[in-house]
Every structure is written in C-alpha cells, then in structure tokens.
Chain A
C-alpha cells in the first residue's frame, strides 16, 4: 500500500520510512500540495517545536491540502508534533494555531510534585505502556496496551472525550497520548522507535487505511 509521508523540511524521516517499509508500505516523501491531493494514505511526522512545524507546512502551502484531504476521508496519521498539529491550538512558546481537525489544545505535561516518589522528569524521555481509552472501538482497534517510546514536553488534550484513544500516567495524572476521529489518527509517541510494538501499530494502521479506502 502506498503511504505518503509529508516532508516539510523538519527532522529525519529515514527511520520512519524504514519502519513503514518494514511493514510493507510503499513510501513516498511529498513536499508539495499536489502530492497530498493525490494521496491515498498520509503520515504527518514531526519533531521539534509546534510553531516551527506549522511554519514548515505553511511555507510549502500544505496546510489547506492537508485539511482538505482529511475532510475528504483520506486516512491520516500524525506522529509526535504531527499529532499535536491535528488539534486547534498549542500553548508551546506562546499560542499557535494548528490544523483544527480534532477539537482541543496542546498542553504542557504535568510537572513533578515534591510528593511524587515515582516522578517523571520533563521532558519525558523514555518508554511507557499506553492504556487504550474507551473510544478505542471508534479508532478501529488501532491502539492496544503496549510499550511505546516518547520524547515530549507537551501532549494533545482533545476537547471531546470520544476523540481520546489512549493515555499514560505522568506525575499523578492521566495524560492523553493518542487521539482519533473517523479517518484521522494521532499518536504522541514514536511507533518507528518503539520496537516490535511500534511496527505492529503501523501494520494495523495500514490495514485500517486499506479498509477505509475500499469503503469510499
């Protein structure tokens, strides 16, 4: 299956491409609007700062094509900052608009409290077992209890509970780490760096995307 990875000039797409190929994807890197319009399945990666990533999309004229594709029903998976950009707004270094495909905001992780013995330092770098949320059925079973690798200080907080797909526990709070709405999916963690569990998530995403395409 052909997977269009959005390349907006930020970060390293080598590992992501390798991981997708390992589970059978035919990966194409796209940095132009026409590639997004023709895509059958889109992966939106991202590292670094939210504002910088949105600027990268904007400079290449990719914001409207991405929104159009998502609204037309093209399966879309956002990873890390690519997941955060699916929401309305981020509060990282100010206030910045996202793609507004899933209602909600990107908020800072809860800081460790002095009483926490089991504290998570921020940035949160490392592995967590994700807990699928109740809406997992609407996310087509994409998320299962499994260990994933995280590097982040912010996380997506969907406004509607039905858009929440998975959480982890950080400093005494449940933090959203996966969101979904119909054909739109987002993961705060890095499946391409999460060993077998991450590869399996990609495999499930491809099969969900394939089913969605056939249904259209």
Chain B
C-alpha cells in the first residue's frame, strides 16, 4: 500500500543548519547532528542534507557531518550540494549516505546522470531540480542553489533525467521556499505528469495542513520539510499524526 515519505531537509552551511527565504537570507537554526537525531527519534522517514555552499572538501565539511549521523541514525540519508564527479559520489557514500542529490553538475553535463546511474544504480541517484516560475504552468531550471538560471524548462528536464537513469526527482520551488505559503502543487503536477519515477516535493510548507493538502492530491511520493520542523511549528510526530488522521497512511513513529 502506498505510504508517502516524510523527509526532513537540513540545509547545511559550514557547521550549521541554516534556513532562508527563496534559498537566500540565511539564518542559523541549529546543529546538523542534533536536529537529525531529534527528527529521527520523532519518526522521520528519511534525512536530506543539502550543502548550500557546496563545500564537500572544505573545513567542517559535510562528509564529517554525514559520517556522524550514519553512526546513530538508521533511516536513509541523502546528501546533496557540490557533487560533481564519480569520486565525489564515492566519498559521500563511503561516509554513510545512501543516495546523492545532484543538481548543477547534472545540468552542466547531463551524461553525468547516465554514468552515475550505471556505476551506483538508479536507486542511488536523486536529481535535484530547483524551479523558478516564469509564467503560469512554466518553470525554469535554476542551478547553484538557486543562484543561476540554466535556460532549461522543468518538464523537459524532468523527462530527460528520468530517461538518463535518475532514481528519484527532488523538486524544489524556489518561489515558495522559506515562505511558509504552502507547496506549489501546480509545479508538482507538472513534474508528475512527465515522469514515472518517485517525486519528492519541496519548498514552502508552513503547516501540517499544507503537507496534507499536497499529499491528498497524490502527485508526489514524498515531501521534504525544513522550516516547519526547524522552527518547531510542528514536530515530525505531530505532522504524522495529523496526516494519519485524514486517512492517509504514514509510517508510525518508533514502529
């Protein structure tokens, strides 16, 4: 039976988890290990670490954070930000990640998706797409954590990454990100309509009702939430209870 996944997204900058609006104007909300452990104990289904400054090998680097998390957190860990080569993927997986999320490097060189999927299997390759609305039902693909426009259209790009072997798509609305105005369900529908692989919706959830509204539409297989958890608007446990109360199945906490 279909059970949507509730993913906690932690945007990491140096040693901190940060949160902004439209991926900008960042503020520190906590420590990556503490937050991940709390969400895990509350029953989150997956953890997504996104390195906002792509400092894979910098000081306080993400690999150390992931390795620490993998010692005590036994749900899937996805890691993105600055992954540009097969060697980068090997390094991230060795540190204990299960999947990698790739955006900029895939847009710059789409063949990278094919080779990554061939080496590690599609199940390991999440393509992260950052979407900026241009007009009604049209979105452009951004790269560099929302800083650059790629000139590509969302729908064509989503279909292409599936064809090239992506295992999942993480779709983030840059317009909604950090606004707490709710997910962009039109965007999710547009992506859903052109791919069969699992789609993770992200960007804009400000309440349990927002998450429920999106899950009821049945366009996405998972949702990634950040601010709603970081600012303690709603705990993972409370969110799951609220979803379950509507009749949608979720994995019970500490099951």
Contact = CB atoms under 8 A, between A and B. Distances in A.
Instruction: Please indicate whether A and B come from the same complex rather than being unrelated chains.
Output: yes
Interface of A: 11-12, 14-15, 18-19, 22, 47-49, 118-123, 125-129, 146-147, 149, 151-152, 169, 192-199
B107 interface: no
A118 B2 contact: yes
B96 A14 contact: yes
Q: Chain B contact residues: over half helix, strand or loop, or mixed? A: loop
What class of interface size applies to chain B in its complex with A? 35 or more
B15 interface: no
Given A126-B5, A199-B74, A121 B121 contact: no
Contacts of B28: none
28 contacts: A11-B93, A12-B94, A12-B96, A14-B67, A18-B70, A47-B121, A48-B121, A49-B121, A118-B2, A120-B1, A120-B2, A121-B196, A121-B221, A123-B123, A123-B167, A125-B168, A125-B198, A126-B4, A126-B5, A126-B221, A127-B251, A129-B1, A146-B255, A149-B75, A151-B76, A151-B123, A193-B74, A195-B40
Contacts of A198: 74
Interface in B195-243: 196-198, 221-222
Contacts of A169: 1
Nearest to A80: B123
Nearest to B222: A126
Interface of B: 1-5, 40, 43, 45, 67, 70-72, 74-77, 93-98, 120-124, 167-168, 196-198, 221-222, 251-252, 254-255
A195 B74 CA distance: 5
A48 B118 CA distance: 9
Contacts of A123: 122-123, 167, 197-198
A49 B168 CA distance: 17
Best-buried of A47, A119, A127, A199 by chain B (most CB within 10 Å)? A127
A19 B122 contact: no
A14 B75 contact: no
